[in-house]
Amino acid sequence: MKPIRDLKSCYNNIGRLRKMRAPFKIKVKGEGKMKISFKDCLKVGSAIFLLYLCINYWKNVASILSMIIGAASPLVCGGVIAYFINILMSFYEKFYFTKRTNVVVVKTRRPVCMILAFLTVLAMVSLVARIVVPQLILCVQLLFKELPAALMYLAAKAGELNIIPDNIADLLMQIDWNSRIGEIVGVLTSGVGNVMNVAVKAISTVFSGIVTSLLSVIFAFYLLSSKDKLKSQSVRALRHYLRPKWCEKGFYVLKTLDNCFHRYIVGQCTEAVVLGILCTLGMWILRLPYAPMIGALVAFTALIPIAGSYIGAAVGALMILTVSPVKSLVFIIFLIILQQIEGNLIYPKVVGRSIGLPGIWVLAAVTIGGGIFGVLGMLLGVPVAAAIYRIIRDDLNGESPLGFN
């Protein structure tokens, strides 16, 4: 009987081992089989074929893309105008009888606020043009009138101070600067072609610009009037054709970009207005020439972070230099002091941390954006960099749905 008991105990132990090993058994579905569907082959083949066409016919593809972009430029400009106007329109909607639920008030809130926003922008552009353009023409005329005497004066002073050799200074003094500047102006005005061709090109350019501007404004008007409907339709289409995770990530990125651009535009415009007003008032107090025009110029260049203040100071100092070198020096000193006061006291109070981007990254964004896209890159580089910075920061803190880490 003892061997039988030993046999039973062995059988029971084998059963226990099988039960213990069962949870650790891994079954791979379709192991050793590789299934490729016809759709996958079609997608890969189409991608390779399109890549081949783009590489071998790049010039034709680039011309087609440029033609499409040129044709869609009114729509792109209209979208940009609508985005800027929407900031003002949303601001007005917050104060347009928000507590009233009357049907008339609800139906007129959007059109009235939209018209007010357009009129505000138009009034600002007209005011700046009325202040700047006449004095700019006067300054250019004065510059061409006083430039020969200023050049001769600088040449004489350079010779007296031994900055340049005496023979070169005498040669510069003997030059008829009036005729030389007249020749330069003549080359700039008539050297590009005959008068008829220049006139035709100018008329066609102006007409094309007017048509594009009208189409852009009309498209912006339609976008703003039906923005809620367009938003719901876009969200519905994206949720239908994309996966839920992709929709969540896309909405997060778009929301971050919109928030950064909105805060950047509001902050920079507020700073520009405050800086322009203070510059104009200070120049009036110091009795410096071209106060309204230079104030508007400084306000406009202040929209460009970091580099804008230097551009406005250089152009303003050059304009005042045609009147008095001493006043030009006074203007530079005044603007440096104003920049320090505005950057350390006014900007943190009025704007605060509008973009939430450290100063070193602002400088990097302005430099890289300006090197790639010029002035437009300087304006757009900062909010784009702020959005990227915020996305990376949220991902490092575990608050981003993108899940890079």
Contact 295, 302 (CB under 8 A): no
For residues 137-166, one letter each, b for 16 or more C-beta atoms within 10 angstroms of the residue's C-beta and e for the rest, the string is eebeeeeeeeebeebeeebeeebeeeeeee
Q: What is the mean pLDDT of residues 170-178?
A: 58
15 vs 279: which has the higher pLDDT: 279
What is residue 183's predicted lDDT score, i.e. its pLDDT?
55
Most confident range (mean pLDDT) of 70-74, 231-235, 351-355 is 231-235
Give the C-alpha separation, 304 to 108, whole Å: 36
pLDDT digits (tens, 9 = 90+) for 381-397: 888 888 888 888 888 88
C-alpha pair distances (Å), 347 with each of 180, 283, 339, 376: 46, 20, 10, 23
Over 50: is that where the pLDDT of 25 sits?
Answer: no
What is residue 284's predicted lDDT score, i.e. its pLDDT?
92
158 vs 242: which has the higher pLDDT: 242
In 3-state terms, what secondary structure has residue 230? helix
Q: Which residues, 6+ apart, have CB-to-CB distance to 142 below 8 Å?
A: 322, 323
pLDDT digits (tens, 9 = 90+) for 298-353: 888 887 766 677 778 888 887 787 777 888 889 989 988 888 887 677 665 555 45
Contact 317, 328 (CB under 8 A): yes
Residue where the block lists tokens 């100063």: 359
Residue where the block lists tokens 């991608």: 47
What is residue 142's predicted lDDT score, i.e. its pLDDT?
67
Q: Which of 361, 363, 360, 364 is nearest to 389 (CA)?
A: 361
Q: What is the mean pLDDT of residues 103-109?
A: 83
Q: What is the mean pLDDT of residues 88-112?
A: 84
Q: Is the dihedral of CA 379, 381, 382, 388 positive or negative?
A: positive
For residues 65-85, one letter each, b for 16 or more C-beta atoms within 10 angstroms of the residue's C-beta and e for the rest, the string is eeeeeeeeebeebbeebbbeb
Token code pair at residue 105: 């008030």
What is residue 177's predicted lDDT score, i.e. its pLDDT?
55
Q: Which residues, 6+ apart, have CB-to-CB distance to 365 below 8 Å?
A: 357, 381, 382, 384, 385, 386
Q: What CA dihedral angle connects 235, 240, 242 and 248, to 10 degrees?
A: 40
Q: Which of 386, 396, 394, 340 is nearest to 364 (CA)?
A: 386
Q: Is the dihedral of CA 126, 132, 301, 70 positive or negative?
A: positive
In 3-state terms, what secondary structure has residue 287? coil
| CA angle (349 as vertex; 344, 351 as ends), nearest 5 | 100
Quote the radius of gyration of the chain (alpha carbons, Å): 34
| CA angle (139 as vertex; 290, 272 as ends), nearest 5 | 45
Give the C-alpha separation, 280 to 135, whole Å: 14
What is residue 119's predicted lDDT score, i.e. its pLDDT?
92
Q: For residue 116, which phi and psi values (nearest 5 degrees)?
A: -65, -40
Token code pair at residue 325: 């070198």
Token code pair at residue 175: 């030059």
Token code pair at residue 210: 């007017």
Contact 375, 222 (CB under 8 A): no
Q: What is the mean pLDDT of residues 9-36?
A: 52
In 3-state terms, what secondary structure has residue 299? helix
Give the C-alpha separation, 245 to 350, whole Å: 39
Give the C-alpha separation, 101 to 220, whole Å: 27
